[in-house]
A and B are shown apart, each in its own frame.
Chain A
Amino acid sequence: MKNKGLITVLIIVAVIAAIFGWYMSTRNKLVTLDEQTSSTWAEIDNQLQRRSDLIPNLVNTVKGYAKHESDVFNGVAEARAKLAGATTVEEAAEGYNQMQSALGRLLAIAENYPELKSNTNFLALQDELAGTENRISVARKRYNDSVRTFNTQIKMFPSSIVAGRLGFEKKSYFEISDSARAVPQVQF
């Protein structure tokens, strides 16, 4: 009789311990995933910043050859300001898209100025820009992958219970428009 009671108590303790263990491990997993989305986002942010830093230099180089294209320069400045003011992933993506088309126009004018095209500084900036662009796309892929994993985990039962308790919400992807890359390939 006494023995039976002890067993019951032990079983209850074991079940509680198991639930607690599962809860903690799920919680830790979700926190890690959440952290991962933050760190992969930081890399996008970093590269966006890096590109913004390149732009004044690029604009000045182009201005040296094509002063009167002020519309295009204004477009770039506007997009840059928008990107700098972005606080959410969606705003950043929107700013990115706008910047993309503004830069596309800027580089398109360069096509009309052969001297600009062969300017070594311009070539170097174009490489830096293309490289940064590629880094953004790599960072974007990594961020979106981490968001996908995170979103799946917090939706899936039973980890969704833990996610709900922790107040985790679905995160948004960094989505960019399918328009061609802003930087044309340097072709010989």
Chain B
Amino acid sequence: MRKLFFLLLIFFSLNAFADDIPGYSSYVNDYAGVITEKDKASMESVAKEVEDKTGAQIAVLTVKSMAPYASIEDFGMAVAEKWKVGQKDKDTGIIIILAMEERKVRIEVGYGLEGIFNDARAGRILDNTILPYFRGGDFSAGLRRGMFKIADTIGTEMDVELDERAKMQDNSFTESLCLLLFFIIFVSIFVLMIRRMNNAKRTGRRYYGSSFGAMYPGYGHGRGSFGGFSSRGCGGFGGFGGGGFGGGGASRGF
């Protein structure tokens, strides 16, 4: 029995090695570690809203390197075929892919969105929205603005009003409100704790740390807890739906 288990384990890990495409845990999958927690959270909520209201799914993937794929187009297609972003019958999926080492970025457009994002439009989003930030070295903002632009375009074209539009401005009011709320709660807990402990400041600070972690599941932890955070914080990510891709979209080097 134990042997069988180990054999299975070896089999699956070999399988994992044979497969060069990373999996997804949510809409935004930042394997290169270039997206800030704040941007990630707001991108997640925008993607969630777009999916709820239009059925379209927007995914983001960043990787350190796309090796062994020779071109971002091949890599993008492999990701699209594995993740199957978008609804099954409508194929409304779109993926923004960034490969850091190769300095390539691509927007991969599913069949169902080719009408909204023709290749030239995808190229324009890269040129006008994403690349200006990339050239300044701000990958997080570039991806966020790019994704918002895509969300906004889908909303406009499908004639759906998105609440999260407020967030698409640079200063996100909701975000800061949320942070403020957390700050107030945190301060009150902090004060309460100090009172209750009736102790030296050092001890209080230690409690500060642990209560912060408990309140912000996902914050300050590794990538693994992120999926959990998003599903608790943003109402759940149900996985991608089985959308088809035919190679539409645009790519850029930066």
The residues of A with any CB-CB pair to B shorter than 8 Å are 43, 123-128, 130-132, 134-139, 185-188
Contacts and interface: CB of A to CB of B under 8 A. Distances in A.
A106 to B, nearest CB: 18
Interface string B92-123: 00000000000000000000000000111011
B246 A43 contact: yes
- The 7 tightest CB contacts between A and B, nearest first, are A131-B119, A127-B123, A138-B247, A124-B120, A135-B247, A134-B247, A127-B119
B27 to A, nearest CB: 24
Contacts of B250: 127, 130-131
B43 to A, nearest CB: 24
A137 B247 contact: yes
Given A124-B120, A128-B118, A188 B254 contact: yes
Interface of B: 73, 77, 118-120, 122-124, 127, 131, 135, 245-254
A125 B247 contact: no
Nearest to A121: B120
Given A43-B246, A135-B246, A137-B247, A130 B253 contact: no
Contacts of A185: 251-253
B106 to A, nearest CB: 10
B123 A139 contact: no
A51 to B, nearest CB: 11
A186 B123 CA distance: 10
Nearest to B248: A131
B119 A130 contact: yes
24 contacts: A123-B123, A124-B120, A124-B124, A125-B120, A126-B123, A127-B119, A127-B123, A128-B118, A128-B120, A131-B119, A131-B122, A131-B250, A134-B77, A134-B247, A134-B249, A135-B247, A137-B73, A138-B246, A138-B247, A139-B247, A185-B251, A186-B123, A187-B253, A188-B253
Contacts of B254: 188
Contacts of A130: 119, 250-251
B120 to A, nearest CB: 4
Nearest to A131: B119
A126 B251 CA distance: 11
B118 to A, nearest CB: 7
B153 to A, nearest CB: 16
Given A130-B250, A135-B246, A188-B131, 17 more contacts: A43-B246, A123-B120, A123-B127, A124-B123, A127-B123, A130-B119, A130-B251, A131-B118, A131-B122, A131-B250, A132-B119, A134-B73, A134-B247, A134-B249, A137-B247, A139-B246, A188-B253
B135 A131 contact: no
Contacts of B253: 185-188
Nearest to B71: A181
A185 B105 CA distance: 11
Contacts of B77: 134, 138
A125 B123 CA distance: 10
Given A138-B77, A186-B252, A187-B253, A127 B246 contact: no
